[in-house]
Amino acid sequence: MVMNNCQLLVLLQLFQRYLDGIGNEKLKKLINKHLEFLADRLDPNFGILDKLLRIGCFSNRECQDIRETGSTGSKAEKLIEMVLKKNKIEEFIQGLRESNQMHLVNYLMADGGECFLHLAVFIISSHLIDLKIF
């Protein structure tokens, strides 16, 4: 399937609507379910703390507390723990997206599945067919 720019834009907009429709409580459950996976792969030193500070999710002091925690894994665990405690799930997802850790968002949205791309293509293509873009 070859897509032009207009079709790609529609695809991206539909994909964003799908992600936005997940809901805070569902995301919280997914984070808790995949907590170990996230803590092992989240890179708290890759800009996410700055993003979360900028959007008001964490205070300067809270970011500093995370930064002063031992290993990268410990920092990730503390970050996720604080996100869940403060119920800042959507901000956390936004921070992951903006810090180039979209692979973790994809993993959550697929509920740990390996076929997220296939799911996204199915959802999007069904919408594109409805829009008679093909």
pLDDT digit string (tens) for 67-88?
999 899 999 999 999 999 999 9
Domains in the chain with CATH codes = 24-124 (1.10.533.10)
Q: Which candidate, 98, 94, 99, 65, places its Cα nearest to that of 82?
A: 65
Tell me the pTM. 0.69
Contact status, residue 49 vs residue 79, Cβ threshold 8 Å: yes
Per residue in 84-108, pLDDT tens? 999 999 899 889 988 999 889 888 8
3-state secondary structure of 27: helix
